[in-house]
Chain A
Amino acid sequence: MQRMSVICLMLVATAACTSAVPVPTGDDAKWATRQWPETSVETLSGGRSLYVSRCAGCHALVPPAKHSGDRWLQEVPRMTQRAHLDDGERDLITRYLLTASRPRDAAQR
């Protein structure tokens, strides 16, 4: 039994790790529209692809959940120049990171 739960935990860990940079879902878009009314899953996915393509060059991608939204609001502007982002790109990446790093409690899942 204990062996089973260890195996189970490892599987879950593997599954969770593969989505260290989670793909946006409908729930994410719903949450995001509260901050930015015209945000869709596509908007957030666009933010994710920009994040993956523009932020992985100098260091391994930082999983969104590593930092709080407040911290991301400091980190992204700091990195904007380094990653040569224009305002639109910065905005998309910020929306994605804030959405993906939002605190999730049981009620929200």
Chain B
Amino acid sequence: MMLRRLLPAAALCLLGVQPALANERHFTQSYETATLAPGVVELEPWATARLGRDGYYTGIDNRLEFEVGLTDRLQTSMYVNWGVEGVRNPLTKGIDTTANHRGVSSEWKLRLSDSVADPVGSALYLEFTLGPEEVEIEGKVLVDKRSGPWNVAVNGIYEFEHNYAESIEEHKLQATAAVGYFLADHLSVGLEAMDFNVVEPQVPGGSATLLHGAIYAGPVLSYGLGNWWVAASVTPQLYGYGKAVVPGRGLDLQDFERVQARVLMGVHL
């Protein structure tokens, strides 16, 4: 009797747990916990389009990342960030574009448990960015689970930004979550959501207050073949909160864009 129930359950689990090549990512905002095998190298270009802020035409952020597996559970990567922003000029009514170099980052990821073998996969992630105008430290706790055709990932993120050009400090708390379903070995579809917010610099002895925040969600698709994979998402802002939200409008378009779209690629070298 027990066995009769177990068999279909086991079959269900086996369906769709398939190898993903070269540490394939299935989401664009949420990280999964897998790390590259020692000595394995991957090149990862990213592009993020940020569309539709108030008075804001468009922004594109690019990143080129070079990842290396160091041990069974530790991987590191270096990347460069650059972008362009186009802002509507109220005087000329034209679009002013500026290019920016956001600096060089170093990223470390330590896998603590496995998403297939253990009840949940978990990893710690640390990132340092040194730019011409700012330094940034970002820490993430990653949790994920792969079971049958399902794939779930949740990230908790803390980011500290110090802009020495303008003497501004920002604390950001973020959370992302994603659910994916494998339609075939290397094809998955899913939904991804993010909550971004910025907390005012903590005055000594005072408490931090929320400046602005926004929630995004939208579809994500990933596909891999041979030595490469690609993941893409389009996530509109669903809800804005904090000081900049215009009552009745529900969105914060002063600090956050209306839509983010991101494409990631990975090429196994």
| Residue tally, chain B, CB below 8 Å to A | 37
Question: Residue-by-residue, is A88-109 near B (CB-CB < 8 Å gives 1, otherwise 0)?
Answer: 0000000000000000001001
Query: Who on chain A is nearest to B146 by CB?
Result: A60
Question: For residues 5 through 56 of chain B, which have their beta carbon under 8 Å from a beta carbon of chain A?
Answer: 5-6, 8-10, 12-14, 17-24, 34-40
Q: Looking at the complex, which one of A13, A58, A82, A106 makes contact with B13 (CB distance below 8 Å)?
A: A13
Instruction: Mark the stretch among A24-32, A35-43, A49-57 that contacts chain B.
Output: A49-57
Q: How far is the CA of A54 from the CA of B114 in the complex (A)?
A: 11
- Neighbouring A residues of B219 by C-beta, 8 Å: none
Question: For residues 1 through 25 of chain A, which have their beta carbon under 8 Å from a beta carbon of chain B?
Answer: 8-9, 12-14, 16-18, 20-21
Q: Looking at the complex, which one of A17, A60, A84 makes contact with B34 (CB distance below 8 Å)?
A: A60
Q: How far is the CA of A20 from the CA of B6 in the complex (A)?
A: 12
Please state if B39 and A66 are interface contacts (CB–CB under 8 Å).
no
Asked whether B147 is an interface residue with its Cβ less than 8 Å from the other chain, the reply is yes
A interface list, Cβ under 8 A from B: 8-9, 12-14, 16-18, 20-21, 48, 52-54, 56-63, 65-66, 82-84, 106, 109
B interface list, Cβ under 8 A from A: 3, 5-6, 8-10, 12-14, 17-24, 34-40, 69, 72-73, 114-119, 146-148, 268
